[in-house]
Amino acid sequence: MIYILLFLFLLIPVIRYDILAMKGGEKIWYVSSMILLVAVAGLRYRVGGDTLVYMAEFSMYPTLDELRYFDFETARFNPLWYVFAAIPRSIDDSFTCFQIIHALIVNVTFFHFFRKYCPRYYFSAILVWFVGYWCYFSMEILREVLCICLLLWATDALLEKKLLRYYLVCVVALFIHFSSVVMLFMPLLPLVFRRPNWIFQVILLAGVVAFTLVVNIPALIAGMFSLGDQMETVITNYFDADIKNIVGKLYEIVKYLPVLGIIWLRQRNPMEDEYDFVPYISFMVVFYGLSSYLGVAGRFLNYFAPFFIVTLVNTLYDFLLEASWRIKQFSTVVSLAVVFVLSFNYMRYYLRDDSDTYPDTHAYNIFVPYHSVINPQVDNKREGYVENLRDFAIIF
């Protein structure tokens, strides 16, 4: 399978440069890894859930010449999504051209981010991203990932508190996908989460979960935005279809343990990183708490994933490779637990049984089997699975 081959290829520079600290050839591995991921994502054929949805609509998108006549007010998506899609449509009226440009933007952005903000172990950061997020970001959340890319390019402005430049990027992102509203709060996070504190995290998580239990969230949303009774009913029905039972609530809380473990490690053994992303990953607790009530709240975690990966990689390497034996003893146990839970989360996501949506399917059927435009094939199971999933795609 092509994903296993990509994993093995990305693992080689991790061993050579991050673990064994060998020198020479880093740039070749860096560029070749990027090219491979761009090629696999850009040349895929009907792979990815949202990909199939966008493919079905792509012929109706305007070209650059047609933008002046396009009715943005009644369009389904935000305006800049159509402006972005018009560029590849004007070059070549095929979805493959769109995929290549999209894959190029996504992979160049993430590779650059990891190399800049995780300079000692960026190959490991790339590997973690590939295992946990690459398929999802490259083939699934095609609109939202463009906003995440904008956030990564604006990270310098965020860290340097150049707020005018940062909020201009936020405005652009909002015209692509409304989920980017979470970017508006990020400059405030260093004021709230000044130092790592795992006790504060636990209290905050408990508070958010308690909030979801005692507050009628659909009614609250309808009241905040002055929505009518009919819209409140729609929101309530959507929420009811996604509400977690007690097992689901506990699982969402368990998913937060890797973040809590990293915060605990950094609080117990203070570290001086060139770039401090702890305030941003600390805020993830709010969305883990909300997702214990409503699964779609977890979508906002996508914006924090790159910052978490950098912090995770830096923290684990610093403790396991550089810390003294005395510090390592208990920290090693916590580190291994973090890796185990994180791996479990990844596997549980991809192996999730979705037979209720379509017979004999799992979440990985969105990405497996892989077919390319070189030898295009249609996977009927994936087609039926995605068609049924579209019935639930009300908001996002």
- First-to-final CA distance of the chain: 30
Q: Which of 124, 130, 185, 98 is CA-nearest to residue 4?
A: 130
State the residue for tokens 């396009």.
Answer: 70
- The values of phi and psi at residue 166, to 5°, are -65, -45
Helix (H, G, I), strand (E, B) or coil at 358: coil
What amino acid occupies position 360?
D
Model confidence at 331: pLDDT above 90? no
User: Token pair 């001086």 is at which residue?
Assistant: 272
Q: Residues 38-76: pLDDT tens digits? A: 999 999 999 998 999 999 899 899 999 888 888 888 888
Measuring CA to CA, how many Å separate 133 from each of 15, 301, 339?
A: 21, 11, 15
According to the model, what pLDDT value does residue 221 have? 59
27 burial via Cβ count (<10 Å: 0-12, 13-18, 19+): exposed
- Of 32-41, 188-197, 285-294, give the range with the top mean pLDDT: 32-41
Paired with 372 in beta bridges are 44
pTM of the model: 0.90
pLDDT-derived band at 323, boundaries 50, 70, 90: low
Alpha-helical segments (H) within 196-277? 198-214, 217-224, 229-242, 246-255, 257-268
What integer is the mean pLDDT of 78-97?
93
Q: Please give the structure tokens belonging to residue 340.
A: 């185990």
Residue 10, pLDDT score: 96
pLDDT of residue 117: 95
CA-to-CA separations, 28 to 24, 32, 123, 359, in angstroms, rounded: 9, 6, 12, 44
Indicate whether 396 pLDDT > 50: no
Q: Using the CB atoms, write b or e for 203-237: b if 16+ within 10 Å.
A: ebbeebbeebeeeebbeeebeeeebeeeebebbbe
Q: Check if the beta carbon of residue 348 is closer than 8 Å to that of residue 340.
A: no
Q: Which residue has the tokens 């924090």?
A: 304
pLDDT of residue 318: 80
The mean-pLDDT minimum among 29-33, 104-108, 301-305, 355-359 falls in 355-359
Confidence label for 149 from pLDDT (cuts 50, 70 and 90): very high
pLDDT for 85: 94
Q: Let me know: does 337 contact 329? Beta carbons within 8 Å.
A: no
Assign 233 a pLDDT band (cuts: 50, 70, 90): low
Q: What is the mean pLDDT of residues 300-321?
A: 88
pLDDT in tens, 179-194: 999 999 999 999 888 7
Residue 394's pLDDT band (boundaries 50, 70, 90)? very low
**pLDDT for the residue numbered 196:** 78
In whole angstroms, give the CA distance from residue 70 to residue 318: 53
Grade residue 21 by pLDDT with cuts at 50, 70 and 90: confident
Q: Give the closest residue to 317 by CA, choosing from 309, 257, 79.
A: 309
Give residue 353's pLDDT band: very low, low, confident or very high (50, 70, 90): confident
67: helix, coil or strand?
helix
pLDDT in the model for residue 395: 40
pLDDT at residue 29 tops 90: yes
Q: What's the whole-number average pLDDT of the chain?
A: 84
5 burial type by CB count under 10 A (0-12 exposed, 13-18 middle, 19+ buried): exposed
Residue 171 is predicted with a pLDDT of 96
pLDDT (tens digit, 9 = 90+) per residue, 57-67?
998 999 998 88
> Averaged over 168-181, what is the pLDDT?
95
* Domain limits, the chain: 1-142+365-396, 193-351
